[in-house]
Structure 1
C-alpha cells in the first residue's frame, strides 16, 4: 500500500493541448496501475487538490475535464483513488521533515522530497523529458547534530522512485509487493518484523522497549538507517574485511564516552557497543558492536544520544 506523491514541478509547463491530453491519459493510467498493484490503502498525495492544478500553462484540469467525454471518464478513474492533502498530512508528525530540504535542478521539490522521506513513489505528468524515467535524482540538505552537539547542514544526493507511465511501474513491483506484506509504520512493527526485515542484524532485548516507544518523528529515519546497516552487513565477508563497507556514516565513540556504551550482551557478559550510526531529526543514534564470528552486528540502543546518567 504505497503512497504516491504528486510531483508539482511536472505540472503547468508549456505545451500544446494535444500533448497535454496525451500526458494526462498516461498519468491516469500509470497512477491507476500503481494503485492496483499497491492494493487497499494506496493514496495519491498532493499539496493541493489535483483539480486546482494546470495540466499545461493556461490549460487547467477543469477545462480538460470538460473538453471530451473520454476526459471525464479518465477523471472519474483518477478520483476513484483515495487522495490526501497537503503533503504533511501523511507524515508521522506534521514537522517530521522540517530538518530536510530537497531540490531538483536547484529548485525546491516538495512532492519529490516527500516521496523520498516517506519511502514512497513520486508520480509526474509526462510532459517534459526529465520526468520520463523510473528514478529521479534529488539534492538533499539535512540539518544534523554531531557528537559534540554542533548543528551542521549536510549535503548529498538521493534517488527517489518515480513513474509517469505504466512501463515505469515494472521496476517498482517487487518493492510494492514487499511494502504490502510489511506495512511497517511504527517502531513496534519494526521490532515485530525485525527477523524478516533485517536478517543480518541481531538486537538486545532492551531495544524492544525503545522501539515500542519510538518517537513518531523517528520511525522512517530509523527504518532507513536499519536498512542501510542490513545492506552493509549482508555484503560483508569477515574473512576479508575487518568491518562492513558502511552505507551510512558509522563511527566509534571517543574513549571518554565508551563507558556509557556498555550493555549486558545476549550471553550475560557486559560489552562495549560504541560503534554508532546517526539518524535525524535531532541526535538519533543506533549503537552496536561487530560480531564477525556470526557475520552480524548486535544492536544495543536505538534512540537519542546516550547520556552519562542513562
Structure 2
C-alpha cells in the first residue's frame, strides 16, 4: 500500500509576496514530499492544481515553465501531480464518508485536510503560514451516520510543508504502526512496502520474520525504520555511502568460516551475500547488503544471530 498525499488548498490563501519566494515555497514543499514518497504514491487535489496562485501573476502552471525554478523540483512534482484524479481514484467507501462529512479549521472549511484524514494519508501544504509548518493539524469534524444522525468530533491529520517535518511525520507513522502491530503482530510483512518504502526485502525474509516471537517485533520495526530513514537520506543528500548507524561488516575469520550462512535469495531469487549486519537486541540480527548502483539497501535475513568465528553455535 503506497502513501497517499492530499494538496491543502488552504495553504494558498496567503500568496508569496514575490516570485522568488514562491519558488522557495515550492522547493520546500517538494522536498518534504520526496522524503516520504513511495513508488505508486498519489497526490489528490480538490481542483485544478495547475491554476493554483503562488504569487501575483504567477500560477503553478507558470512555475513549471519558469526557467529560474529548480529543475529537479519541477520534474519530481510533475511526475507526482500527473497522478491526481479525485473522483475516479477514491475508493467508494471513502467517497461516501467524504460526502457525508464537513471539516473545519478555525471556522473555515477544510475539505482537503479532511480528505487526508479519511484516507489516513498526509496533507501537503505550501509553507505560507506557521499553521502549515505543523506536522499535525487539528480539525473539527461534523459527519452524518447511516441513520442521518449528526456527530461531531475533533480529529488530527498529518501534514508536511518543509523537510524538517518529514521526520516528525515518519515518527508519527511509526507510532501508529506500533499500535496496529500490537493489535495484529503478523501484519508486519504484509505492510512492509508501506512502512519501509526505501528498503528491499529478499525472498527468504518472510518465513524468518513470521517465525519471530511477538516480543522482539517492536525492536525489529525500530531497526528497520532507522535503515529506511538512512536510505531516504542517502538518496536525498547524494552521498557516496549511506550513513548506517550500528551496522557492521563481519570479521574476515567469520566470513572464511561461516560466509556461506550469510548467503540468501534477493528479491529476484538470486543467491547473494548479505554480509553486513545490524543487531536487534542481544540475540537477533538483520543481515543486509548495499546496492550502490540503485542507492538501495536490501534485507536478506531477520532472525537469531548467525554463528561467528569467536563464538560458533
TM-score scaled to structure 1, two decimals?
0.51
Q: Which SS does the other structure have where 1:80 is aligned?
A: helix
- Determine which of 168, 171, 193 is the counterpart of 1:171: 168
Q: How does 1:147-158 map to 2 (within 5 A)?
A: 151-158=148-155
What does residue range 61-210 of structure 1 map to in structure 2 within 5 Å?
A: 61-81=60-80, 83-93=82-92, 94-144=95-145, 151-174=148-171, 194=184, 196=186
Q: SS of 2:116's equivalent?
A: helix
What SS does structure 2 have at the residue aligned with 1:20?
helix
Whether the aligned pair in 2 keeps the contact of 1:87 and 1:114 (CA below 8 Å) is: no
Q: For the aligned residues, what is the CA RMSD?
A: 3.1
In structure 1, what is the Cα distance between the partners aligned to 2:44 and 2:176?
17
SS of equivalent to 1:95: helix
Contact 1:32–1:81 (CA<8 Å) still a contact in 2?
no
- Paired with 2:131 and 2:110, the residues of 1 have a C-alpha distance of 14
Give the corresponding residue for 1:9: 10
Against the structure 1 CA distance between its residues 175 and 136, is the aligned structure 2 distance closer, same or farther, given a 3 Å change threshold? closer
Q: What do the CA deviations read for 1:259-309 (whole angstroms, capped 9, x no partner)? A: xxxxxxxxxxxxxxxxxxxxxxxxxxxxxxxxxxxxxxxxxxxxxxxxxxx
| Structure 1 residue ranges (4+ consecutive) displaced by more than 4 angstroms after TM superposition | 174-181
Q: Does 1:21 align with 2:20?
A: no
- CA shift digits 1:139-182 (9 cap, x unpaired): 1001135xxx5x4211221110111011111122256579999x
Tell me the residue number matched to 2:239. none
Question: Do 1:45 and 1:83's aligned partners in 2 also have CA atoms closer than 8 Å?
Answer: no
Do the aligned partners of 1:12 and 1:55 also contact (CA within 8 Å) in 2?
Answer: no
Q: Structure 1: 5+ residue runs without aligned partners?
A: 185-192, 199-310
Alpha-carbon distance in structure 2 between the residues aligned to 1:97 and 1:177 = 26
- Give the TM-score normalised by structure 2: 0.51
User: Residues 89, 110 of structure 1: CA spacing in aligned structure 2 closer, same or farther, 3 A cutoff?
Assistant: farther
Structure 2 unaligned segments of length 5 or more: list them. 189-313
- Mapped to 1, the partners of 2:89 and 2:114 lie a distance apart of 13
Checking the alignment, whether the CA contact within 8 Å between 1:87 and 1:111 is kept in structure 2 is no
Distance 1:52 1:41, change over 3 A: same
| Structure 2 CA distance for partners of 1:101 and 1:134, relative to 1, 3 Å | same
SS in 2 for 1:76: helix
Bigger shift: 44-53 or 110-119? 44-53
